[in-house]
Amino acid sequence: MTQQTWLTQEAYDRLRSELDYLTGTWRTEIAAKIEAAREEGDLKENGGYHAAKEEQGKQEARIRQLMDLLRDARVGQASSSKSGEAGPGTIVEIRFPGEKETERFLIGSREDHSASIEVFSPASPLGGAVTGHKAGDTVKYTLPNGRPATVEIVSVAPYAS
C-alpha cells in the first residue's frame, strides 16, 4: 500500500508545474541534445552524448518520483477527523527531556518547501513516532544512529497557510 502524502496547495502547484515542464519542454530539449550528440559520430568517446543520457536518466527518475507523489497526494487544509492527533498536515510542538525550549515542525512531505517551518515526513523517525499521538503524550523512538530518544508532545494543531 502506498502512503498518502499531505501537501500544501502551493507545494502541489509547484510540483505539478515541475512535472509538466519535465514531461513536455524538457523531454523535447533532451531528445534534441541526444540526437545532436549522436550525429557527432562515435558514441563510445562522445562525452556530450553520455552526459545527456545520464541527465535524461536522472530526470526520468525525478518524473517517476513526482508522478507517484502527486498521484497519492492529499492537498489543502489538514483533516481534523482525529481531533488533536499528530499526523500529516499538523504542526507539532515538542520538548526534549531536560530542555525548556520547544521545537515546532510540520508533518508533511519534504518536497513541501512552501511551509515556513521545518517539515518532517511521517516516514522519518521523529515524524513517525509522534504520528497518532496527542499533546501531553511522551513518545520514545529510535534515532537513525540506533540510539533511543524521547520527546514530549506539547501541542498539535492543524496546519493553516
- Which of 134, 80, 84, 87 is CA-nearest to residue 106? 87
Q: What does the block give as the cell for 115?
A: 511551509
Average pLDDT over residues 148-156: 95
pTM of the model: 0.62
Q: Which CATH architecture has domain 90-156?
A: Roll (3.10)
Q: What is the Cα 37 distance to its own chain's centre?
A: 35
Domain boundaries defined on the chain: 5-75, 90-156
The phi-psi region of residue 116 (left if phi > 0; otherwise alpha if psi is between -120 and 50; otherwise beta) is alpha
97-118 confidence digits (pLDDT tens): 999 999 999 888 777 666 678 8
Q: Which amino acid is at 137?
A: D
Q: What does the block give as the cell for 44?
A: 563510445
51-94 confidence digits (pLDDT tens): 889 999 999 999 998 998 888 887 766 554 456 889 888 889 99
- Which of 145, 146, 141 is CA-nearest to residue 94? 141
4-54 confidence digits (pLDDT tens): 677 777 778 888 999 999 999 999 999 999 888 888 877 777 888 888 899
The pLDDT score that the predictor gives to residue 1 is: 42
- Show Cβ contacts of residue 13 under 8 Å, excluding neighbours closer than 6 positions: none
Tell me which fold the domain 5-75 belongs to: Helix Hairpins (1.10.287)
